[in-house]
Chain A
Amino acid sequence: MNGPQRFRFAVNVLPRPGILDPQGRAVEGSLVHLGLAGVSDVRVGRRIECTVEAATEAEARRTVERLAAELLANPLIEAHAIELLGAIAGAATGAAAIAAEGESSR
């Protein structure tokens, strides 16, 4: 099969180590009310998912890398990790196909 392929990615963004994360601290502070012990170092970030059309997986990954570095994360304060969820077959469109592919490749 030739032509562009579609890839589903997730970008996970977290505060860099050493950056004060008051949200993480607030979540951690609530654990005692849940009766949970032994949980520490809670950090709160965000996850962004997207579908990228490109000729190859490497090209798609470069696009996501740029998206992550220039927009989704501020490199001064946040680190990001890119995760390929899966390739989306043929001309399949729609959330169901994306979700199915994403789930099957995890």
Chain B
Amino acid sequence: MTVRVGVVVFPGSNCDADTIHALRLVGAEAVPLWHESVDLGGCAAVVLPGGFAYGDYLRAGVIARFSPVMRSVAAFAAGGGLVLGICNGFQVLAEAGLVPGALLRNRGLRFLGRDVQIIPERLDTPFTRALPDRRPLRLPIAHGEGAYFADEAALDELEAAGAVLFRYADAGGAVATADDEEANPNGSLRAIAGVIAPGGTVGGLMPHPERASEAVLGSDDGRLILRSLVEAAAERAVGTPVVVGAR
């Protein structure tokens, strides 16, 4: 069976079509979910895509948080549903309090559009389970507000709880230091590029897996992240472990 994955479309989302395309590549029946609807259409997982929801007015992600679809997404998440936020979608999840922390303006003030390397911290999550090992992944970033922030105590708690999903890495594959402007260009604290919420079913990351899902794009590393999500969603939908699609 194919598993249905919903991709939320906010006014200002601009990665929704790419995300739907990439999810189909890894075997999902991907469908758009309109922001004014509270109906998640029976989806086994929901993705909040990149873009500039509601123009990023006030703060990136904050207006989107109050849209009707987010009431359903929050309830879905509270019930253990799988939710992945990519870039602006990560910002929406953070503003909604569905993942810990906040995304601040990039340290250098500039919008950054380029490739980075990230290392998965864990391979046992719904977002990383299809990764063969902890080798670095090459994915593009495209954001103006991507500097991950939480206070020191919260960062310690995140690390202790295993809530860090990805960290930026340097060319040698080592975790980037806080002041490495090449490897961690937005200035994320402890080089955090993605996190998961307590419960392990809601996650977000700043880099774009859907923009690195075919070799012709220069990298297909992102496909492994989306495949992880679709596999996890399929398993929930049928109740038994399955592996979907061929790489």
Contact = CB atoms under 8 A, between A and B. Distances in A.
Given A19-B149, A20-B147, A20-B187, A74 B62 contact: yes
A1 B149 CA distance: 50
What's the dominant secondary structure at chain B's contact region?
A: loop
B150 interface: yes
Give the most central of B102, B147, B150: most A CB within 10 Å: B102
Given A74-B95, A76-B149, A77-B149, A20 B104 contact: yes
Nearest to B100: A76
Interface string B54-66: 0000110010001
A20 B95 CA distance: 18
A14 to B, nearest CB: 13
B187 A74 contact: no
Contacts, number: 30
A72 B58 contact: yes
A77 B109 contact: no
A19 B104 contact: yes
B101 interface: yes
Given A22-B108, A71-B58, A77 B147 contact: no
A68 B32 CA distance: 32
B129 interface: no
Given A22-B108, A23-B109, A74-B95, 5 more contacts: A19-B149, A20-B104, A20-B187, A22-B107, A22-B109
Interface of A: 19-20, 22-23, 26, 71-72, 74, 76-77
5 contacts: A20-B104, A20-B187, A22-B105, A22-B107, A76-B150
